[in-house]
């Protein structure tokens, strides 16, 4: 707080006597005697003749005794300062200040304590003067500090002595509120504009509206003081970015044991792989189950896409090898929420539940199912293992040229130069996962420098493990579906195949559950009652075609790709909507309608015909000739697939040579390049060249 002069500069003898200031007489006569004794009227600029009626002398407050001056100064300082903060607010503000400001407060407090230590011996006035001379500061400054702590408890003085200038926490006073609101609203957008561009736009508006402005750096400092960083992140980057600013929940794994809780998820590798029966390289996916306590990868399967079949097979591998877990933490995707995996679970929130739904794999085994938070990698411990595999497996030197990069904007120089055969890929993945499990030096709260496998083996040896029975193995080795048996014979028709055994008369007309081998469909069905009781085995008595879950899924994928390409081609041609077509027709004029000429003459009965009959024969001949002219003419033969590809290839070459093509040709080429026909012809042409055209 700076020193503030009293509001009243000049005082008469009557006013001085009535002021009640210390060391000042209480009567007018006594004041005049003091003025004569100290020669006040001889001080230039400090005494003057009083103007107006009555005359007399006026004296400056600077002629008063020191204690009286200090009283006036203290009262002016207290009147000028804002309302004092409470203890809690003062200490909260003090703790938020930087170190250099807190040090100034400690230095001020030490000086005041030195004054108070000398005060009993020589008085406060003399003590202030001596300490000010020794410290080389003004005496009025020390008196100002005493005013700051007047009425404050000794243990709270430090919080009130810190300098308050430049705190950055006051209101914006030097610019129009509308100007500041415009900048804030513009800056706090998901487009994430720079603060400078927002400030320049606000300046243009302020010039038109007459708003008061401040420099950009000052406004940015005020903005950061008033708008917290989490608020800025939320408004500019969204909720997902805000979540990263909140510390993740740390779960204690020391209370678990091996196989008490497992987690599963899919991971898509950044490697091009040659997949059987697929005519282009793909990025395969892996489903893996991990023991949460130790971090060991328990089981995994490689597949073309994320699907419930791979989940079921990987879960079967885990259960048959290690046992049945008590808790299962699953991703919220459809492949894990499928009825074959978690059917009859209380909280799945996917797929419409039905009364005749059969229990899923984990539900039937009595596992408690937990779902991870969608779009939250922190909720799934296995994501840390996948990140490790992105470095140790995907970037294996045996995959050079096939690695795709981990981001669309981080493709390697040799991107797409080769693809890995599936057998070799699976071999490298198996080696990588084994190395991941057995690597020493792990630093988790249960590893203490050991490997995941060592931690798992130690706990697994003493943990209570539930093993699966032969009946339970059918739950993961076989698919499942609810069907109805024939009313008369009890046979089951499924996928155009017939299954029957002599005991099936007992289930005639009943709804049952069948389980079948996903890879060996003709081995027969295992039949269960609606309440999941095992009834018996039904062999296949009539085979129709080959049935395999993977083949069916691949066929559905190819069919969907074909349908998508046809839809894109249709959209390229159908550029106008029905509403646009109707609007164009509303203003179109039909002109003068032309009355059509009758070409067929209705015969008239009851009248005498021409004697020679020549006129009717001529009319009939004219009618036949006219009908023949309107008969559809033969159309040219439909363009073959090879010819269409040749046309597309020529358009591509024209584009590469810099020769322009028409917009219609470009639209047709873009649509045709997305079709399976183009991809097949393209691969054949890459192998044989232009010789495919004959």
Burial of 599 (0-12, 13-18, 19+ CB in 10 A): exposed
Least confident of 6-15, 398-407, 559-568: 559-568
* pLDDT at 284 exceeding the cut of 90: yes
pLDDT at 297 over 90: yes
Give the CA radius of gyration of the chain: 47
Angle subtended at Cα 260 by Cα 254 and Cα 265, rounded to the nearest 5 degrees = 100
| Distance from chain centroid for Cα 404 | 24
Same fold, 261-460 and 477-544: no
DSSP string, 447-470: TTT--HHHHHHHHHTTS--BPP-H
Instruction: Give the lowest-confidence range in 19-28, 456-465, 541-550.
Output: 541-550
Q: For residue 605, give the 3-state DSSP assignment.
A: coil
pLDDT over threshold 60, residue 624: no
Task: Give the tokens for residue 196.
Answer: 């400078």
**DSSP E strands, 51-134:** 57-60
- Judged by average pLDDT, the poorest of 288-302, 408-422, 562-576 is 562-576
CB atoms within 10 A of CB 642: 15
Report residue 227 as tokens: 């708008």
Say if CB 551 and CB 572 are below 8 A apart.
no
Domain ranges (residues) in the chain: 10-78, 82-161, 177-243, 261-460, 477-544, 548-573+639-694
What average pLDDT does this structure show over 58-81?
73
CA atoms within 13 A of residue 6's CA, in its CB half-sphere: 16
624 or 316: which leads in pLDDT? 316
Give percent of the chain with pLDDT exceeding 90.
14
**pLDDT exceeds 70 at position 21:** yes
List the single range of 524-528, 619-623, 632-636, 651-655 with lowest mean pLDDT.
632-636
Mean pLDDT of 449-459: 92
pLDDT at 235 over 60: yes
Q: Which one-letter DSSP state was computed for residue 8?
A: -
pLDDT band at 566 (very low <50, low <70, confident <90, very high): low
pLDDT of residue 534: 83
Packing angle, helices 139-148 and 99-122, rounded to 10: 100
Q: Does the pLDDT value for residue 426 go beyond 70? A: yes
What pLDDT is attached to residue 199? 92
pLDDT band at 618 (very low <50, low <70, confident <90, very high): low
Q: Which two tokens stand for residue 100?
A: 């250099």
pLDDT value, residue 583: 52
pLDDT at 167: 44
pLDDT score at 171: 40
Say if residue 581's pLDDT is above 70. Answer: no
Residue 552: which pLDDT band, with cuts at 50, 70 and 90?
Answer: low
Distance separating alpha carbons of residues 66 and 74, to the nearest angstrom: 12
> Given its phi and psi angles, is residue 597 left (phi above 0), alpha (psi -120 to 50 degrees) or beta?
beta
pLDDT band at 588 (very low <50, low <70, confident <90, very high): very low
**Would you place residue 290 in the very low, low, confident or very high pLDDT band (cuts 50, 70, 90)?**
very high
| Residue reference for tokens 């001379």 | 133
pLDDT at 61 over 70: yes
Q: What's the sign of the alpha-carbon dihedral 553, 557, 563, 567? A: positive
Residue 269 near residue 287, CB atoms below 8 Å: no
Lowest mean pLDDT: which of 204-213, 265-274, 405-414?
A: 405-414
- Is residue 361 very low, low, confident or very high in pLDDT (cuts 50, 70, 90)? confident
Q: Angle at which helices 676-688 and 641-656 pack, to 10 degrees?
A: 70
Q: How far apart are CA 518 and CA 474, in angstroms?
A: 11
The pLDDT value given to residue 665: 87
- The confidence score (pLDDT) of residue 427 equals 93
Q: Is CATH 3.30.420.10 the classification given to domain 261-460? A: yes
pLDDT (0 to 100) of residue 352? 61
The answer regarding whether domain 10-78 maps to CATH 2.40.10.10 reads no
Q: Where are the alpha helices (DSSP H) in 484-577?
A: 549-573
Q: In CATH, what is the architecture of 177-243?
A: Orthogonal Bundle (1.10)
Work out the average pLDDT over 278-298.
91
Third-level CATH fold of 477-544:
SH3 type barrels. (2.30.30)
Locate tokens 């600077």: which residue?
A: 62
**The pLDDT of residue 212:** 85
- The domain covering 82-161 belongs, at the CATH homologous superfamily level, to Homeodomain-like (1.10.10.60)
Look at residue 7 in the predicted model and tell me its pLDDT: 64
Give the pLDDT score at 423: 92
Q: Are 335 and 312 in contact (CB under 8 A)?
A: no
pLDDT score of 636: 47
Per residue in 480-503, pLDDT (tens digit) is: 678 899 998 899 988 778 899 888
- Would you place residue 589 in the very low, low, confident or very high pLDDT band (cuts 50, 70, 90)? very low
Q: What is the DSSP string of 348-380?
A: --SS---TTPPP-HHHHTTPEEEEPPTT-GGG-
Out of 76-80, 193-197, 220-224, 534-538, least confident range: 76-80
Distance between CA 178 and CA 44 in Å, rounded?
Answer: 52
């Amino acid at each position: 707080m700076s020193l503030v002069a009293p509001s009243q500069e000049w005082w008469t003898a009557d006013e001085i006597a009535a002021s009640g200031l210390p060391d000042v007489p209480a009567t007018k006569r006594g004041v005049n005697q003091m003025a004569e004794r100290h020669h006040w009227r001889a001080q230039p600029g400090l005494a003057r003749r009083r103007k107006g009626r009555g005359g007399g002398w006026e004296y400056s407050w600077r002629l008063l005794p020191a204690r009286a001056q200090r009283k006036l100064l203290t009262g002016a300082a207290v009147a000028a300062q804002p309302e004092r903060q409470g203890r809690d607010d003062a200490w909260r503000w003090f703790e938020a200040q930087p170190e250099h400001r807190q040090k100034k407060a400690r230095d001020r407090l030490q000086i005041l304590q030195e004054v108070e230590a000398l005060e009993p011996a020589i008085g406060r006035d003399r003590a202030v003067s001596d300490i000010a001379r020794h410290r080389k500061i003004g005496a009025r400054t020390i008196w100002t500090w005493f005013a700051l702590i007047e009425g404050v408890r000794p243990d709270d003085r430090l919080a009130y002595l810190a300098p308050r200038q430049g705190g950055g926490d006051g209101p914006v006073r030097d610019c129009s509120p509308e100007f500041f609101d415009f900048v804030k609203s513009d800056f706090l957008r998901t487009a994430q504009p720079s603060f400078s561009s927002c400030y320049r736009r606000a300046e243009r508006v302020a010039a038109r509206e007459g708003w008061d402005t401040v420099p950009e750096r000052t406004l940015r400092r005020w903005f950061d003081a008033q708008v917290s960083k989490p608020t800025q992140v939320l408004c500019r980057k969204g909720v997902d970015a805000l979540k990263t600013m909140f510390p993740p929940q740390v779960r204690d794994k020391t209370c678990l044991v091996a196989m008490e809780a497992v987690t599963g998820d899919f991971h898509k590798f950044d490697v091009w792989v040659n997949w059987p029966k697929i005519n282009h390289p793909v990025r395969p996916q892996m489903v893996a189950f991990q023991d949460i306590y130790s971090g060991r990868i328990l089981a995994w399967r490689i597949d073309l896409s994320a699907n419930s079949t791979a989940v079921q097979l990987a879960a079967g591998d885990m259960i048959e090898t290690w046992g049945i877990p008590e808790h299962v933490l699953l991703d919220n995707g459809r492949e894990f929420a499928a009825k074959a995996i978690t059917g009859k679970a209380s909280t799945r929130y996917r797929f419409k539940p039905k009364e005749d739904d059969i229990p899923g794999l984990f539900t039937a085994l009595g596992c408690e199912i937990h779902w991870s938070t969608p779009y939250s990698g922190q909720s799934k411990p296995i994501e840390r293992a996948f990140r490790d595999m992105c470095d140790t497996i995907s970037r294996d030197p045996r995959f050079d040229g096939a690695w795709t990069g981990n981001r669309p904007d981080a493709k390697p120089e040799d991107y797409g130069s080769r693809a890995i055969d599936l057998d070799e890929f699976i071999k490298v993945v198996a080696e990588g996962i084994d190395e991941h499990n057995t690597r020493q030096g792990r630093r988790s709260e249960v590893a203490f420098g050991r490997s995941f496998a060592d931690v798992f083996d130690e706990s697994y040896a003493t943990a209570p493990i539930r093993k699966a029975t032969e009946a339970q193995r059918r739950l993961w080795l076989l698919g499942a579906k609810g069907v109805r048996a024939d009313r008369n014979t009890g046979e089951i028709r499924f996928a155009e195949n017939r299954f029957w055994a002599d005991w099936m008369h007992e289930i005639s007309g009943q709804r049952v559950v069948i389980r079948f081998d996903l890879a060996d469909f003709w081995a027969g069905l295992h039949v269960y009652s609606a309440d999941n009781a095992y009834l018996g085995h039904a062999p296949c008595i009539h085979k129709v075609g080959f049935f395999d879950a993977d083949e069916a899924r691949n066929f559905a994928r190819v069919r969907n790709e074909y349908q998508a390409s046809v839809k894109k081609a249709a959209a390229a041609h159908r550029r106008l909507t029905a509403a646009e077509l109707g609007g164009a027709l509303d203003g179109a004029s039909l002109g003068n309608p032309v009355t059509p000429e009758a070409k067929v003459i209705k015969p008239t009965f009851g009248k005498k015909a021409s004697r020679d009959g020549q006129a009717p024969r001529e009319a009939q001949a004219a009618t036949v000739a006219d009908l023949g002219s309107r008969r559809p003419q033969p159309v040219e033969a439909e363009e073959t697939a090879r010819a269409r590809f040749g046309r597309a290839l020529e358009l591509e070459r024209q584009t590469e040579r810099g020769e322009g093509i028409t917009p219609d040709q470009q639209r047709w080429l873009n649509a045709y390049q997305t079709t399976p026909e183009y991809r097949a012809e393209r691969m054949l042409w890459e192998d044989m060249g232009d010789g495919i055209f004959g």
